[in-house]
Every structure is written in structure tokens, then in C-alpha cells.
Amino acid sequence: MQTGAALSDNMMGAGEFAADGTEAGTQYLTFICAGEEYGIDILRVQEIKGWEGATHVPHTPAYILGVMNLRGLIVPVIDLRTRFDLEQRPFNASTVVIVVRVRCSLAEKTVGLVVDAVSEVYTFPGEAILPPPEMGERIDGACINGLASAGDTMVMLLDIDSLIASSIEHI
């Protein structure tokens, strides 16, 4: 509850901060995946839905759960845990699909990301974002733009364009 209130105050504070000047920072929607908090640019988020299942498409990588019908638009659905080679866990009531718009191969695509839960909306100023550590090409370093602190937790800011591009270029 205290954490919730603190987060809420933080968000309200971010709102106030944003009200002071639009150039003060960028808003990020954060979500939880395997205990870690990730953030994506809020302008890329189109919709947040509860997990309702997907139609499996054969001969696709394991992290492609299938496709879903989003008001007439067929959207591929990616399981981020599988994509990040993390431990599998059965979906539950807090599992959500974050529908994002990405630019891929000079075209705009709509993709669904399955994560454990959405968390918050933070506003991070540019100087608060730290560059990702150099950990070798094996760790998909290109997919992380940087790191930011929110209270005592660390938020990994994802480069959603390159992530989706590397994920669905095989399809």
C-alpha cells in the first residue's frame, strides 16, 4: 500500500514535473517480466489488454505465441519471457498484452507483447537515463537503450524497434 502510494505520488510528481515543461523528460510505461521492470516509450503503446489467448501459427519461432485479432487487424503476439530466454511461467490474471507500434524495415507494424504485468508510467529526464553496460554482442545489447532508476528499482528501457525487428524478421 505504501509502495502503491509512493508510486502514485511519484507518478503525480512526474505529472507535475511534466506540467512544468514538455521537454522535461520522456514518459515510459513500465511492466514486469520475471521480476525485472522494463520500460517502453509510452508513445509507442497503442493499447493494454488482458491476456485472452492467441491463435497459434505453425512453423514459427517458440517466442511467437501466434496471432490475435485486434478489431479487424491481425497482430502477431510475442512472449517476452521466451524471447529473453527467461523461465517459463503459466499465464494468470495479471498477464497482459501490450500492443505497440514499431517501425520495422521502413514500415509501421503493430505487435503484441505478452508480459507478466504492467507496472507504472514514469517520466524520466534525459540525464537520468544511463547507457547500458558493454556486455558483449551475445546479450542483445542493442535492444536496451539505457537504464533508469525509479526509487530503489532499476528500469531497463527497451529499444522496441530493434527488438521487434530482430524478432519478426524471420517471419
Partner 1 sequence: MTAFGLLVILTLALLANAYDRLDDIGAMQGRLTRMHALAGEQAAAEHGGIRASAPRAAEAAGEGLDASYAEQSAALTEAVRGLAVILLGSGAAILIAGLCAALALTRRLARPLRLARESIDRLARGDLAHRVEVADGGELGALVTGINGLADRLRAVVAGMIDSAANISSGSRQIVRGVEDLSRGAEEQVSGLERTVACLEEMDSAARRRADEAQGTGRLIGAALEETAAGGGLVGEMTAAMSDIEGAGGRVAEITGRMDEIASRANLLALQAVVEAARAGRPDGELAGFAAEAHALAQKSAAAAKEIRGRIECHLEKVELGRRSVERSGQALDRILASVGEAAGGVEGVSGASREQAAGIGRAHQAMARMDEMARQNAALVEQASAVTRMMEEEACRLLERIACFRMHRIDRPVAANGGKRRFSIARRFGRDAGRNGMIGASAA
Q: Is 43 in the site for partner 1 (CB under 8 A)?
A: yes
Q: Is 34 in the site for partner 1 (CB under 8 A)?
A: no
The one segment of 8-16, 78-86, 129-137, 152-160 that binds partner 1 by CB under 8 A: 8-16
Residue 81, CA atoms < 13 Å, CB-side half-sphere: 18
Q: The C-alpha cell of 54 is what?
A: 492467441
Contact letters for partner 1, residues 65-94 (x by CB under 8 A): ----------------------------xx
Evaluate whether 9 touches 17 at the Cβ level (below 8 Å).
no
Size of the site for partner 1 (CB under 8 A): 28
Q: Is 11 in the site for partner 1 (CB under 8 A)?
A: yes
Interior angle at CA 141, CA 79 and CA 171, nearest 5 = 40
Nearest CA-CA partner of 105 in 53, 20, 168, 26 = 168
Q: Is 15 in the site for partner 1 (CB under 8 A)?
A: yes
DSSP track, 23-45: GG-EEEEEEEETTEEEEEEGGGE
Residues that bind partner 1 (CB under 8 A): 1, 4-5, 7-8, 11-12, 15-16, 18-19, 22, 27, 29, 42-43, 45-50, 93-94, 96, 118, 121, 123
